[in-house]
């Protein structure tokens, strides 16, 4: 007999709108070895996690994401919380895996060093967040990757991950005030870059 996960959108399973009861049911199934349950959580977070890691570790994003989900599967019995906490937990694991990868790469001076910027998500109600709306995902990721490491981290987690300031601060191990400053600076830089590009495209007024 098929379980109740059939037809359930993975994104809904791990979103902030997910009811505690729904998530608890999916989590319990995944812990019992239900592949459909675990897959539904993976589908809900993998796209966001992958975009975040693309800014953090570049071409190694796929490998780091795989390592992240392997760790999630291993430690699933130890997790406690609702869907929103689960999202933060997964991103925290991903960030730690990325840090480990970067440390290993730092021991290889003869090889090109990947992009080291981390990005925090923009708050949904932040007007500056609209500066990315005119860009395709790949363009936006590349643009965020030009920011300083701290700014890039702040922008990706807040805008792409959908985390609030306190959650972002916990994931990054920073104070909330520092997260706000980094996010603000990063967004303003992106805004100025986009304005410069628009001006160059439109050319001087006649």
Taking only the tens place, the pLDDT of each residue in 28-64 is: 999 999 999 999 999 989 999 998 998 888 889 999 9
In tens, the pLDDT along 126-140 reads 434 455 554 456 677
CATH number of 10-106: 1.10.1740.10
- pLDDT at 125 (0 to 100): 44
**Residues of CATH 1.10.1740.10 domain(s) within the chain?**
10-106
Q: What confidence tens digit (pLDDT) does each residue in 141-162 have?
A: 788 888 888 899 898 898 878 8
- Residue 12 pLDDT more than 70? no
Residue limits of CATH 1.10.10.10 in the chain: 127-202
Residues 6+ apart with CB under 8 A from 57: 64, 98, 101, 102, 114, 115
Reported pTM: 0.73
What's CA 146's distance to the chain center, in Å? 17
CATH class of 127-202: mainly alpha
Candidates 97, 191, 98, 193; CA nearest to 149 is 98
| Cβ atoms of 104 and 114 closer than 8 Å | no
User: pLDDT at position 204, please?
Assistant: 60
| pLDDT tens digits, 79-123 | 999 999 999 999 999 999 999 998 888 776 544 444 334 334 434
């Amino acid at each position: 007999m098929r379980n109740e996960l059939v037809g359930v959108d993975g994104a809904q399973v791990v979103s902030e709108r997910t009811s505690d009861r729904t998530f608890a049911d999916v989590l319990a199934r995944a812990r019992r070895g239900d592949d459909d349950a675990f897959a539904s959580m993976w589908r809900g977070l993998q796209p966001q996690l992958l975009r975040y890691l693309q800014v953090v570790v570049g071409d190694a994003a796929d490998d780091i994401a795989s390592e992240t989900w392997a760790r999630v599967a291993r430690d699933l019995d130890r997790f406690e919380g609702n869907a929103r906490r689960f999202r933060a937990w997964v991103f925290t694991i991903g960030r730690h895996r990325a840090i480990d990868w970067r440390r290993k790469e730092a021991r290889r001076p003869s090889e090109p060093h990947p992009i080291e910027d981390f990005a925090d998500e923009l708050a949904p109600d932040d007007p500056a967040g609209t500066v990315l709306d005119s860009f395709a995902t790949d363009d936006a990721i590349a643009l965020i990757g030009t920011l300083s490491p701290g700014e890039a981290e702040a922008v990706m987690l807040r805008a792409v991950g959908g985390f609030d300031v306190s959650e972002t601060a916990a994931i990054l191990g920073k104070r909330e005030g520092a997260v706000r400053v980094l996010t603000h600076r990063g967004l303003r830089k992106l805004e100025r870059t986009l304005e410069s590009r628009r001006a160059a495209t439109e050319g001087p007024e006649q």
